[in-house]
Structure 1
Amino acid sequence: MSDTLPPLREVIREFDLRAKKSFGQNFLLDLNLTRKIARVAGDLSDSIVYEVGPGPGGLTRGLLAEGAKRVVAVEMDARCLPALAQVSLAYDARLSVFQGDALEVNETELLAPQGGEKLRIVSNLPYNVGTLLLIKWLTLEDWKPWFSSLTLMFQREVAERIVAKPGSKAYGRLSVLAQWRGKVKIAVNVPAAAFTPPPKVASAVIHYEPCAPMDAAVKQKDLELVVERAFGQRRKMLRASLKSLPVNALDLLAEAGIRETSRAEDLSVEEFVRLARVYGKTRS
């Protein structure tokens, strides 16, 4: 489906939508690129797509042009609402926009699928809240989650942390939280020049699909705590970094079969999950 709306640069001029740093805004104006990102999410014809921070609607238009059954967007910046209303009109009201803070949204109530549609999150996330939103979606207590997939734009450095493997400098808390019950990859690299205004760093789109956890007996909160303490002092050996846990760190490591001289970046995701299971058993 072709897009018959005015070019995004004209939309920005018409509605005076200069990007604001306070909203973490960097707009994507290349509709070929936004359609490419939309295709990473898969077949959208049976999907309700949740988009955070659509701005003037570049990615929104890409999602609708690629056949999304419905797009539900949350935008904090009231200046963008008239431009998004134009998009909704051009695409037969398949776009619904709500003004508000995505960190406070109850997504399942907002999206309310009615016909068995898949729920997908596809967003060029505002830089200032992107990681917080990802953690919100990854740390749901009940799993499998309400969404079928996440297709999200981050600063390249953050994207590399999400997909990082043990032994790398990028490997850390985000890596473990993403990988213990999901499959994730970097799908598209996006240069800074693709944005208006161009940020100082390159970006990347990650695609994440939830799957069964490595150990269904592990509680999310136990894993979060163990990982947080381990990487809180990542250069220290685990026998020291885990001392702040309310258990004996040496006994915990021994029962989990992990060397006390290991450091956080040495442990695989599976080993962190095992450590969290032992911790949870010790605390119960």
Structure 2
Amino acid sequence: MKAKKSFGQHFLHDGRVLQAIVNAAAPREGELVVEIGPGTGQLTKRLAAQVGVQNLRAVEADRDMVAHLATKMPELEVVQADAARFEWETLIHNQPAVIVGNLPYNASTAILFHLLLNHRHRFRRMIFMFQREVAERLRAGPGGKTFGPPSVLSSLLAKVQMVVKVPPGAFRPPPKVDSAVLSFEPREQPLFNIENDQINDFNDFVHALFRQRRKTVLNNLKRVAGQDAAEHLNAVDINPMARAETLEIESLVELWRHVLGEKP
């Protein structure tokens, strides 16, 4: 099968990386395993050997790949759908599950955050491939240029770990960038007692603070809090001349709550 640029397809063939993904998923007995973007089925076959095809499901956007898999693995249940919009409750019911995928670069963060924001309670673990630059942003901590809204949101909603770094030669056709596989263990409750229905509001607030990264947190906060920005920063002991990338996530949460008028 020929990879399609329109789907951002790069087929993973490196056995070492494929096995690292299977090992990181570490499905338990009785768990359902779901694969996003099975493509030609290289990872799919290894997963089926691990858990049995009866405990494996796949979601694939490309109908030609769905047809290809139907001939190669006719017993496999494959749903043709966009994983970034898919209603996962139609596939995952009350059965414990893990989910894996060699995600297309152009949709990887949309798929990840659709799952983390709306469906993380359905999965014990998520193992996904990203462009390495994106992976570094997703797992970054405060103090560096890679720390930003994706880092904050992923940390609030999951424990994030590096699984393996992946060179271009591991794919056919090889991409022009390095890649990396990350592991996410979703949290039952977001960090710092943020309620699930507050996550989107907090995420918007964080994006506002990072909107112009070279500006101070005071200048960016003025877009949200107006002339009260300095008062809010002083109240939670944040240096108004600092930049958002230097702030701990807990400090961002405390500032957001103060702007909202919530008391500690």
Asked if these proteins are the same fold (TM beyond 0.5), I'd say: yes
In 1, distance between residues paired with 2:214 and 2:79?
Answer: 44
- 5 Å-filtered alignment, 1:192-211, equals 192-211=168-187
The one-letter code sitting in structure 2 at the alignment partner of 1:147 is F
Alignment correspondent of 1:30 = 14
Q: Alpha-carbon deviation of 1:191?
A: 0.8
Among all aligned residue pairs of Structure 1 and Structure 2, give the percentage whose two residues are the same amino acid: 39
Task: Show CA shifts across 1:27-52 (max 9, x none).
Answer: 01234431321110123432222222
Mapping 1:1-284, distance limit 5 Å: 17-67=1-51, 70-89=55-74, 93=75, 95-113=76-94, 117-140=95-118, 145-211=121-187, 212-218=189-195, 219-246=198-225, 248-281=228-261
Q: C-alpha offsets along residues 148-206 of structure 1, whole Å, 9 cap, x if unaligned?
A: 11110001111111111111111111110011232111111111100000000111000
* Structure 1 Cα separation of the partners of residues 260 and 123 of structure 2: 27
Change over 3 Å in CA distance of 1:266–1:97 after alignment to 2: same
CA deviations 1:51-82 (Å, max 9, x no partner) are: 22111112212221222662221211111123
Contact 1:173 1:228 in 2 (8 A): yes
Q: Is contact 1:57-1:83 (8 Å) kept?
A: no
Q: How far apart, CA to CA, are the structure 2 residues paired with 1:228 and 1:24?
A: 27
Contact residue 173 and residue 227 of structure 1 kept, 8 A: yes
- 1:219-248 residue CA offsets vs partner (Å, 9 max, x unmatched): 212320121011111111011111221563
Residue 216 of structure 1 deviates from its aligned partner by 1.6
Consecutive unaligned residues of structure 2, counting only runs of 5 or more, are none
Looking at structure 2, the residues matched to 245 and 23 of structure 1 have their Cα atoms a distance apart, in angstroms, of 37
Deviates more, 1:186-195 or 1:67-76: 67-76
Once residues 162 and 173 of structure 2 are traced to their aligned partners in structure 1, the CA distance between those partners, rounded to angstroms, is 23
Q: What CA distance in whole angstroms lies between the structure 1 residues aligned with 2:181 and 2:194?
A: 31
- SS of the equivalent of 1:236 reads coil
How far 1:18 moved relative to its partner?
0.7
Return the letter of the residue paired with 2:222: K
Question: 1:56 and 1:214 mapped to 2: Cα distance?
Answer: 38
Larger mean CA deviation between 19-28 and 267-276 belongs to 267-276
Using structure 1 for the length normalisation, give the TM-score.
0.84
Show structure 1 runs of 5+ residues with no match. Answer: 1-16
User: Contact 1:52 / 1:73 at 8 angstroms: preserved in 2?
Assistant: yes
Size of the aligned set, in residue pairs, is 258
Conserved 8 A contact 1:56-1:80 = yes
Partner Cα separation in structure 2 for residue 217 and residue 169 of structure 1: 25
Q: Secondary structure at the match of 1:222?
A: helix
- Find the aligned partners of 1:194 and 1:19 in 2 and give their Cα distance: 14
Which secondary structure state, in structure 2, belongs to the residue aligned with residue 103 of structure 1? coil
